[in-house]
Structure 1
Amino acid sequence: MIREALDKGIDNFTLEVSSHGLTLGRLWGVDFDVVAFTNLSHDHLDYHGTMEHYGYAKGLLFSQLGQTLDKPKYVVLNADEEWYERYSNMTAHEVISYGLDAHADFKAENVEYYNDKTTFTLRSPEGVYEVEMKLLGRFNVYNALTAMASLFAKGMKVERIVGIFRDLPPVDGRMQKVEMEAPLSVYIDYAHTPDAIEKAIESVMPFKENKIIFLVGTGGNRDKSKRPTMAEKASIADYVILTTDDPRFEEYDSILKDLEKGMQHDQYALIGDRGEAVKHAIEVSEPGDIIIFAGKGHEDYQIIENTKYPHSDKQIAIEESRTKYVHHS
C-alpha cells in the first residue's frame, strides 16, 4: 500500500500500528516521522498477559523512533493518560502534548456536545481557535486533538487544520448516527473494549430524554477476560442486550454466560443470534429512546465457524424500525 501511494505521487501515509505488530517485529525498517498515542485500555490481554506488558509493547513505537537527530521527528502524546510520562521518557525526539484536563500544547476547553456535532475552544501553539466538527463524543475530541497535533508536527498551519475539521464527515461505524424515520436516536459504533463501551454511552448521556438501550456482543475464541467488564460498563445503560459479535467456533451460551457475569442490574436480555438481538432492541424501544449498537461498527458481515455471512446492524435496525414505527403510526 505504501508503494502504491508513492506511485500515485502521495508522500504522506498514515498507519495504525498494533501492539502485536510492534512486539512481533513487523515494523522493523519502517521509518516514521510522527508517532502518536491516544490511550491504553483493556484489550489483547490474551496475547500480552498484563496491562503493564501491553503498555510497554505500545512503548516500542516511541523507543524505536531512532536516534538519528539530523531529521526532525515528533512524538504526539495524550497528556491526560497515565503512560504520558513513561512514553515521554522513551524517546529522544520532541514531544507535542494534547489533552482536555492536563496542561498541554493542544488543549480543548469549553467542550459542548450535541447529538450531531461537537464544539470546543482550542488552545494551540499558534493561538486560540473555535472548533466545530461533526464527530461526536469526548473520545472524538481526543482523536481530533491527536490528528491536529500530528498535522501541526508535519508543518500544517493550525488555522487550516481547524477549517478542515469543520467539513469532515463522520467516520463510518464510529458513533455514527443512523438516519431513520422512527422517533429514535440510533448510533452504530465499533466499541469492543470496556473503555470504548463506557465512552460510547458517555457520549450520548448529555441528550438522554428517555432510556438508553445498549447492544453489545463479543467475538468467540478470543480474549475472554474482558467479557464481564464489557457487560459491567454496558450496565450504565438502562437496558442492555448481550449478544455475539463473530462467534467463530464458540457456542452462543458460552459467550453470553461470560458476559452476563458482569451485569450490574437485571434490565437485560441474552440473545445469541445478533440479527435477532438487533430486532429485539427496536422492539423494546419507545419514542425518544437512544439505541447504540456496539461491536461491529462499519462491518457488514459476521463470522460463524469460519464462514463470513452478510450482516449489517444498520440495515436490520432500519428495516425493523420501519415495520414498528412507520407502518403502524
Structure 2
Amino acid sequence: MKLSELLAGHDYEVLQGDPETEITAGTSIDAHRVSPGSLFIAVPGHRGGGPESVGPALARGAVAMLVDGGTSDLPRSVRVPAGGVCLVRVPDTRMAAAITSSRYYGEPGRQMDMVAVTGTNGKTSVSYMVESMLRIAEGARVGVIGTAGSRIGDELIPMPRSALTTPESPDFQYLLGCMRDRGVGSVVLEATSMGLLTNRVDHSFIDVGVFTNLTQDHLDDHGTMENYRDAKLRLFQGLCRRAVVNADDPVGTRIPAMMPGAVSTYALDAEADYWATDLTMDALGTHFTLHHADQKYPAMIPLPGRFSVANALATLATCHLLGHDLEGLVAALEQMPPIPGRFERFETPSGTSVIVDYAHSPDSLDKVLTTIRGFAPAQVITVFGCGGDRDNTKRARMGEIAGRLSDLCVLTSDNPRGEDPEMIMDEITPGLTATGTPFERVADRRRAISRALAVADRHDIVLIAGKGSEPYQIVGERLLPFSDMATVRELAAPTR
C-alpha cells in the first residue's frame, strides 16, 4: 500500500522523497523490528524507537519514515540519504501509528465485533467471560488480547515477548488482521489506561466499550487519580459506538452524559439496565437474580464474590448488546470455565485450598480477601508483595488490608523490576505491623509459597496474590519464567 494511502485525510508534510512509496513490510515503532519495505514511525520517548532510532531503522531497510511534529530536528548524527527514502512529518506520531497500521492491515476492526474493557479491576475476568459466553452460547470464534497474551481459543498468536497488556498499535493492528484472516467474528481486548492514553487502540472501530471501576493504581504513570480517570474515560470519547458501564462506580455515572443514548448500565447496589439481587454465595460460586427490562432470570456463576457477579453483569450486558439471546447467555454463565489466575483454585493432597489471584491493588486485594473470609472454614494465609517501579503509596495500605483480613501473611517479592525487593517489603511492613497479624518476610517467591504451604493445615486457605496467570517474574529488565499456580502444583506434588 502506498504511504499516501496510509496517510489519506491525515495532516502531513513531506520533507523529502515520494509519498507514493509502496509500504510492503508493515509498520513499526521499534527500529530493531524494521525489515526491508517497512514504514518506521519515530515516536518520541519510546524505548527502541524515537528520532534517535532513525539511523538503525534506515540500516534495516525502512523505505519511509514518519517523524513527530514536536521534533524540530533529527539528531545531528542521523543522516537520511536524499532520494529513495520518504521522510514525512506528522502532528502526532502515536496517532499516525494507529491510523497507518490499521489501514495497512485493511482496517480489520471494521470486519469483526470489537469489545474493549477498561477499568482498574476486572478487565481480564470480563474479557475471558465474554469470550467464554460467546463460545458456549453461540459456538462463536473469539479472539482475546490482554494480560495473558493474544489468542484465538487455545491457540496463541506468536508475538515478541512483552509485558504490555495492550500492545502498541502496529502490533495490535497486526493481531486484529491475523484474527480476521482466521475467521474470528468477535474480539475482546483489555484497554489499559496507558494503552488508551498513547493511542494504541485508536482507529479500531470498537463496538462496545466496557467500564468496570476506578480505584487507586498506576499513579506512577499518571501522577494523580484525576489523570488516571481521564485516561480511562478516553475510551468513551469517540473510540466506541456503545458502552456498558458500572453504575455503582462514581466514575461510571459520568459516562452516560458523554455518550447520550448509547450507554447500558449494570449494578449491584442500585437499579440499572442490568442489575442483580438475592445474592447467595459459597465456595463454589454465587447464585443471584438478574433483572432486565422488567424480566427476572435466575442465574449462577461458578465463582464466589460480589465482584464476580459484577463482572458477570458486565459480560451479560455486553454480549446482549452484540445481539445474543439473553436467556442463552444466562444459561452459558453457569458453564463458565475457570479463569486462569483469577480466583483460580487448587487443593493440595493434604486438604489445603490454594487460591491464585491477580489482586495487586488495594481494592482488588480487599475484595478477594473479604470474599475468602466469607466462606473460609479455618485460617487464611496470604502470600503477597508489591510491584517495583510502580505506585509506592499503595504499599503500606496493602499491608494493612492483608493483615486485617488474614490470620498469617508471608510477605514476598512480586515483580521487583528495578527496585530492591527488601526495600519494597520495608514499605509494606508498617501497614502489616499496625494490624498485629503475624507475618514472615521471604523475598524469594518460590520459597515464600513453599513456606505458606508448609504451615497451612487441612481446611486452611492460602491466597497467593499479585501475579495471577503471569508466566514470568520481572527482575530488572528480564522476564524470568515463573508461574504461581505451576509452582503450587509442583510443591504440592507427592514426593516419590
Q: State the TM-score, normalized to the length of structure 1.
A: 0.91
**Superposition pairs of residues 167-246 of structure 1, within 5 angstroms:** 167-235=335-403, 236-246=405-415
Question: Does 2:185 align with 1:11?
Answer: yes
Aligned to 1:139: 307
Listed as ranges, the gaps of 5+ residues in structure 1 are 67-72
CA distance in 2: counterparts of 1:217 and 1:139, whole angstroms = 22
Aligned to 1:260: 429
Q: Is the 8 A contact 1:135 1:171 kept in 2?
A: no
Which residue of 29, 45, 52 corresponds with 2:219?
A: 45
| Change over 3 Å in CA distance of 1:9–1:266 after alignment to 2 | closer
Structure 1 residue 18 displacement after superposition = 1.1
| Change over 3 Å in CA distance of 1:266–1:10 after alignment to 2 | closer
Q: What SS does the corresponding residue of 1:27 show, helix, strand or coil?
A: coil
Structure 1 residue 322 displacement after superposition = 4.8
User: In the alignment, residue 307 of structure 2 is paired with which amino acid?
Assistant: F
Q: Provide runs of 4+ in structure 1 moved above 6 Å.
A: none
CA distance in 2: counterparts of 1:48 and 1:249, whole angstroms = 19
Which stretch shows the higher mean deviation, 75-84 or 91-100?
Answer: 91-100
Which stretch shows the higher mean deviation, 306-315 or 195-204?
Answer: 306-315
| Change over 3 Å in CA distance of 1:12–1:126 after alignment to 2 | farther
User: In the alignment, residue 451 of structure 2 is paired with which amino acid?
Assistant: H
Which residue of 233, 239, 245 corresponds with 1:77?
A: 245
Larger Rg: 2
CA distance in 1: counterparts of 2:480 and 2:230, whole angstroms = 37
Structure 1 residue 223 displacement after superposition = 2.1
CA distance in 1: counterparts of 2:271 and 2:181, whole angstroms = 42
Q: Is the 8 A contact 2:202 2:239 kept in 1?
A: no
Which stretch shows the higher mean deviation, 39-48 or 235-244?
Answer: 235-244
CA distance in 1: counterparts of 2:203 and 2:239, whole angstroms = 10
Aligned to 2:319: 151
Q: Deviations over 1:150-208 (max 9, x none)?
A: 11111111101111112110101100111432221210001111111011111212212
Aligned to 1:250: 419
Aligned to 1:99: 267
Which residue of 17, 23, 45 corresponds with 2:197?
A: 23
Structure 1 residue 119 displacement after superposition = 1.4
Aligned to 1:64: 238
User: In the alignment, residue 267 of structure 1 is paired with which amino acid?
Assistant: P
Aligned to 2:334: 166
Q: Is the 8 A contact 1:124 1:158 kept in 2?
A: no
Q: What SS does the corresponding residue of 1:298 show, helix, strand or coil?
A: coil
User: In the alignment, residue 371 of structure 2 is paired with which amino acid?
Assistant: S
Listed as ranges, the gaps of 5+ residues in structure 2 are 1-174
Q: What SS does the corresponding residue of 1:30 show, helix, strand or coil?
A: coil
Structure 1 residue 126 displacement after superposition = 6.7
Q: Is the 8 A contact 1:74 1:94 kept in 2?
A: yes
Q: Is the 8 A contact 1:219 1:248 kept in 2?
A: yes
Q: Is the 8 A contact 2:301 2:312 kept in 1?
A: no
Q: Deviations over 1:285-308 (max 9, x none)?
A: 122211100011112322223333
Q: What SS does the corresponding residue of 1:250 show, helix, strand or coil?
A: coil
Structure 1 residue 278 displacement after superposition = 0.5
Structure 1 residue 76 displacement after superposition = 0.7
Aligned residue pairs total: 319
Q: Deviations over 1:83-108 (max 9, x none)?
A: 12212212234211111111111111
CA distance in 1: counterparts of 2:304 and 2:444, whole angstroms = 29
CA distance in 2: counterparts of 1:297 and 1:217, whole angstroms = 13
Q: Is the 8 A contact 1:281 1:291 kept in 2?
A: yes
RMSD: 1.8
CA distance in 2: counterparts of 1:157 and 1:266, whole angstroms = 49
Q: Is the 8 A contact 2:255 2:263 kept in 1?
A: no
Q: What SS does the corresponding residue of 1:13 show, helix, strand or coil?
A: strand
Question: Does 2:492 align with 1:318?
Answer: no
Q: Is the 8 A contact 2:386 2:413 kept in 1?
A: yes
Q: Is the 8 A contact 2:346 2:354 kept in 1?
A: yes
The sequence identity of aligned pairs, in percent, is 36
| Change over 3 Å in CA distance of 1:319–1:15 after alignment to 2 | closer
CA distance in 1: counterparts of 2:458 and 2:442, whole angstroms = 23
CA distance in 1: counterparts of 2:462 and 2:479, whole angstroms = 26
Structure 1 residue 21 displacement after superposition = 1.6
CA distance in 1: counterparts of 2:470 and 2:239, whole angstroms = 33
Q: What SS does the corresponding residue of 1:210 show, helix, strand or coil?
A: coil
Q: What SS does the corresponding residue of 2:391 show, helix, strand or coil?
A: coil
| Change over 3 Å in CA distance of 1:91–1:160 after alignment to 2 | same
Q: Deviations over 1:241-286 (max 9, x none)?
A: 1111122232121110011122222411111111111111112212
User: In the alignment, residue 471 of structure 2 is paired with which amino acid?
Assistant: D
